[in-house]
Structure 1
Amino acid sequence: MSLPEVDICIIGSGAGGAPMALELGRAGFKVVVLEKGPHYRPQDFIHDEILNSRRNFFMPLPWEEPHLIRRNAKERYERSTAAWTANCVGGGTVHMSGFFYRLKPVDFRLRSTLGAVPGSTVVDWPISYEELAPFYDKAEVELGVSGQAVPHPFAEPRSGPYPLPALDVHPVAGEIDKACAAMGWHSLPTARGIISRPYKGRAPCAYCALCGSYGCEMGAKSGTNANLIPAAIATGNVQVRPGCMARTVEVDRKGRARSVVYVDPDGVTQEQPAKVIVVSCTAVESARLLLNSTSSRFSQGLANGSGLVGKNLIFSSFGESQATFRLSKQADKRPWLKDPGPFVNRSIQDFYLMPDTRFGFRKGGTLGFMWTHPNPIHAATGLAGSGASAVFGKELKDRMRAYRDSRILQFEVYAEYLPTPGSYVGVEQGVKDHFGIPVAAITVERHPLDLVATRFLVDRGEEVLLRLEPDEVKRTNTTGETTILQHGTCRFGDDAATSVLDKHCRAHEVPNLYVVDGSFMPTGGSVPSTLTIAANSFRVADHLVRSLKSGARAGG
């Protein structure tokens, strides 16, 4: 059934979709937001690991809505939940940990800085850090970010302090500060999308330790469900429709986007016409939607005349090590181990860009320190192991007793994931989800420099851990990727032959189609990208509002 036309239809309500909804609603335009997941309320966010982390509260079940993934084009695809973020109003911002970093100026000119990188399709952005900076400011204010800006070699320019003071931290943060200072490194307070004080009607953090993988019942976490979406609805111009799965974006005879065909909560197919359509489903799912939106004009997928929709997929390189402190051995000389504070909030960015290639690479990344997540079932299954090396009975009980006698400090590496021709998203016509829609098929082929840089960063992080004199340091990963941080499948640029979107994230081939999730990013940077996606969405919204209003004044 075709519904009455609105000004703008936005698909997705996370870091990309919500800023657009808010700004367009404030400007007086009629907006419909389609969200495939439910609209959870604060009372729905309970501390239940099975519900949140082991069922489909956030992620769909792989037998209902699989992603297919393989390590290179010669392998067979496997069904997976990899590269899903979250299916609910607010998207992945609902269960994020809220590590809110900005990109650095160098991230916008990586091709110019590194030169040609054999095996990579790295390019510069068509905008500069200076162009995005005012919208970083806006995103931090609108979302609510707590932090403390301090000088360091790779500090990005800022116009002022964070909107809120830094969160309280565990005393181990001071120990990390001392260890870094002794090595001549800079231990930085990590900004968080978690409010440290009452802010815009929201209650501050209760320091429960369950940020990542959980929604915030306090409303203190700065997911778009807690701030931008309620503010957008309050304009009276924005309607959010949960439980609505977009199937295709349809076009008219002139090749302009005409409507979104979607399945409503009752399983009925609906069609929402709109003057402008904004796609923000995540880099993987937006590519899937466009590739499934075929027509006589766009036989290879909507806005895909260049053949680049789905190409240049970027995740974030991942590495990790853990330091274990036995309380029974260490608590007397390190009484801070018994402090219950959940946040470490310390980062190192001294190796964000190396001055030369003496270590085999130039673009490095960020180390973020934190206590390990307290999910007990996850911990127990990790202790038990799997396959031939799995343990049970007394040995497993002994491991669990040792775990209960421990505080485990870890760091995560966020490093450059260089775009390559071998990492991309397609659709598999032979595999459909329970809506009957062909699913996303992901191929991952890493650039070797990613792994060199990640190993180097893990080595540096372990130097910090060892200076704290733990009972054990265990390296857990140097070759991973964080698929929840995804970018690049509709990269923006000035040349329609080498990019899908223009600098305003409008499709080169479809003048009323925009894509504002991480798809637009030609490079992912060496930090989590949530804040950047939100800032860019505010930038695009500013342009679109001015464009629509000037068009209305001109009579079309």
Structure 2
Amino acid sequence: MSDEYDVIIIGSGAGGGTLAHRLAPSGKRILILERGDWLPREIENWDATAVFVDNRYISPDTWYSPSGKAFQPQVHYFVGGSTKFYGAALYRLRERDFGELRHHGGLSPAWPIGYDVLEPYYTEAEQLYQVHGAHGDDPTDPPASAPYPYPPVSHEPRIAQLFTDLTQAGLHPFHAPSGVMLDEADPVHSACIRCATCDGFPCLVHAKSDADVIAVRPALEHDNVTLVRNAVVQRLLTDDSGRTVTTVSADVDGIEQQFSGSVVVVSAGAVNSAKLLLASANDQHPRGLANGSDQVGRNYVFHNSRAFLAVSAERNDTRFQKTLCVNDYYFGDADFVYPMGNVQMVGKSSAPMYRGEKPIQTALAPGFALTELAEHAVDFWLSTEDLPDPDNRITLDDKGNVVLSYTPNNKEPLKQLYQRIRKHLNQLGMHPRHLIPRDVYMKTDIPLAGCAHQAGTVRFGADPATSVLDTDCKAHELDNLYVVDTSFFPSIGAVNPALTAMANALRVGDHLLARLG
């Protein structure tokens, strides 16, 4: 295997995998270094006990709080990154999310590029990831230059009734944009079978539009693309000037290997990308690579979220539940003028999930009672914006371990959003007193473990004093180092960040194609 490449991409998720797909037809020598392996296709992929109770696919990583308390983050390391387990909810940020927004808890900063710059790439990402939806149904929907490539996924009966009830309550529900390989006109030959195991599960039949199936595997059909699995990148080494990354040092199946590339792209996730840059400190970059501004690791964000189930008076036999969304309160209302956020459905709950998420509370509960609860549950996910704070950050201890410091902020919008949904529940055939919190992605007593939407630690911007990357996502201080995961976000908005990472990777891909000739 050659150790000289035109582009080395570290990570194969929404950012890295999509970038590899963009670059693959160029003929340039592309190397993808992935710390995980192929996710095995096995019956446990769809086993709620294996996924939620046994944590079969969770990384054994240990991170630490500033007090030294250890916790296990809910992260997954496989080809395709965290998209192997996401719910494939592929939303665009709203147009106003790219400008400065005043929130109840402070300011959400403007991006150095406008929505108009990213819009064509949003359209391309929706095409690539086979997104089903309908532009224009959402009152906050930003302009789109093309329709979604596929019609929206239809609601099952209980969710269709919820859609009608919300509309009658004066709201504007719309079909959630979903990245699935579903052909409802020809279900016999459709890859997706509309199962209940999408959100939080890997897809056994490869019908979820994840970065592995959609981007990495097609990229590997090109002879110029190489994937090295089980490659944990330890350090990036530079030349004597400190301006150029010359070597990527990785532990590959327990053996140290070094790789060289004209361009190095980091896409390891907001925490691990920051970790890698900090761990690569040298004489020219004593605080960490690209960290002359002392911004690497700062401004960590991951959404203020709440998942809960409401007990429906009637049975909810829905299997594929993530088809409905409400953004009426995204930018506030007459009674609360600050942005609130997004309401969507979370994957359909089941009895084993309750035991995995709340083992103590459900230890004595009989199985039939939990099954009955699941049969009447309608599951909601509320997401509001937490604001960048330089003291919410990633640092490394003296052993090189991740230390995650985070103090919640801007919490009032989540409270306000929850109250608004709760007041409608009587009209929606659900009892407002029968609400049960769900600890989806947060299985420990440290909420930081729920880091599915992590972002912001290597932000881009025009000013090198307040950002790490320029507007092309190249490090200000290095000539050949780029970052394309959600680390680059200056703010996170209130919708799932995956599509924005994919769109930006396509944008950076075009920049790199021009650079490489």
SS at match of 1:483: coil
Residue equivalent to 1:385: 360
2:424 counterpart letter in structure 1 = V
* Structural mapping, 1:268-347, within 5 Å: 268-325=255-312, 330=314, 337=315, 339-347=317-325
| Percent identity of paired positions between Structure 1 and Structure 2 | 28
C-alpha separation in 2, matches of 1:16 and 1:314:
17
Residues 233, 424 of structure 1: alpha-carbon distance in 2 compared, 3 angstrom cutoff: same
- When the two structures are aligned, how many residues end up with a matched partner? 505
How far 1:6 moved relative to its partner?
A: 0.7
- TM-superposed CA distance for 1:192, in Å, is 0.6
* CA-CA distance at 1:414 after TM superposition: 1.4
Q: For the structure 1 residues 11 and 383, does the alpha-carbon distance in structure 2 shift closer, same or farther, using more than 3 Å as the test?
A: closer
Q: Which residue in the other structure is 1:196 paired with?
A: 182
Q: Do the aligned partners of 1:321 and 1:473 also contact (CA within 8 Å) in 2?
A: no
Q: Are residues 343 and 410 of structure 1, via their aligned partners in 2, closer, same or farther at CA, if it must alter by over 3 Å?
A: closer
Aligned AA (1:451): K
1:77 aligns with 2:37: no
1:514 counterpart letter in structure 2: Y
- What's the CA shift for 1:321? 3.0
Task: Name the CA distance, whole Å, in 2 between partners of 1:399 and 1:44.
Answer: 26
Q: Are residue 106 (structure 1) and residue 96 (structure 2) matched?
A: yes
CA contact (8 A) 1:10 1:32 kept: yes
Shift of 1:509: 0.2
- CA-atom RMSD, angstroms? 2.5
Gap change, CA 1:203 and 1:177, over 3 Å in 2: closer
Tell me the CA shift for residue 459 of structure 1: 1.3
Q: Which residue of 2 aligns with 1:445?
A: 407
Residues 239-273 of structure 1 deviation map (CA, whole Å, 9 limit, x = unaligned): 111100000111011221111100011x1101111
Change (3 A) 1:263 1:391: closer
Deviations 1:6-47, CA, capped at 9 Å, x for gaps: 111110000000121112221111011000001135457632
Residue 417 of structure 1 aligns to a residue in which SS?
A: coil
Partners of 1:205 and 1:188 in 2: CA distance:
21
> CA 1:136 to 1:469, structure 2 compared with 1: closer, same or farther past 3 Å?
same
Which residue matches 1:415? 384
Alignment of 1:379-528 (within 5 A): 379-380=354-355, 385-386=360-361, 392=364, 396=366, 399-400=369-370, 402-403=372-373, 406-430=375-399, 438-447=400-409, 450-471=410-431, 473-476=434-437, 482-528=450-496
Farther off after superposition, 152-161 or 476-485: 476-485
Partners of 1:217 and 1:101 lie apart in 2 by 24
- Code of the aligned partner of 2:70: R
Q: Deviations over 1:181-210 (max 9, x none)?
A: 2232101100111122299xx953111210
In structure 2, which of residues 194, 203, 208 is the aligned counterpart of residue 207 of structure 1? Answer: 194
- Separation in 2, partners of 1:13, 1:382: 28
8 Å CA contact retained: 1:68, 1:80: yes
Aligned pairs for 1:4-403 within 5 A: 4-40=3-39, 42=41, 46-55=45-54, 57-61=56-60, 65-69=61-65, 76-82=67-73, 84-109=74-99, 111=100, 113-114=101-102, 122-197=108-183, 203-255=190-242, 256-265=244-253, 267-325=254-312, 330=314, 337=315, 339-354=317-332, 358-359=335-336, 362-370=338-346, 372-374=348-350, 376-380=351-355, 385-386=360-361, 392=364, 396=366, 399-400=369-370, 402-403=372-373
SS of residue in 2 equivalent to 1:131? helix
Please say if residues 321 and 348 of structure 2, whose CA atoms lie closer than 8 Å, have aligned partners that are also in contact: no
- Equivalent pair of 1:3/1:270 in contact (CA under 8 Å): no
TM-score of the superposition, structure 2-length normalised?
A: 0.91
Q: Which amino acid aligns with 2:324?
A: R
- Distance in 2, matches of 1:54 and 1:286, equals 29
Larger Rg: 1
Closer/same/farther in 2, CA of residues 253 and 318 from structure 1, 3 Å limit? same
Check conservation: 1:500, 1:507, Cα contact below 8 A: yes
Q: Which amino acid aligns with 2:419?
A: D
Task: Report what 1:553 is aligned to.
Answer: none
Per-residue CA deviations over 1:36-84 (Å, capped at 9, x if unaligned) read 00113545763233443445643222xxx211135xxxxx1322222x4
Structure 1, 51-60 or 474-483: larger mean CA deviation: 474-483
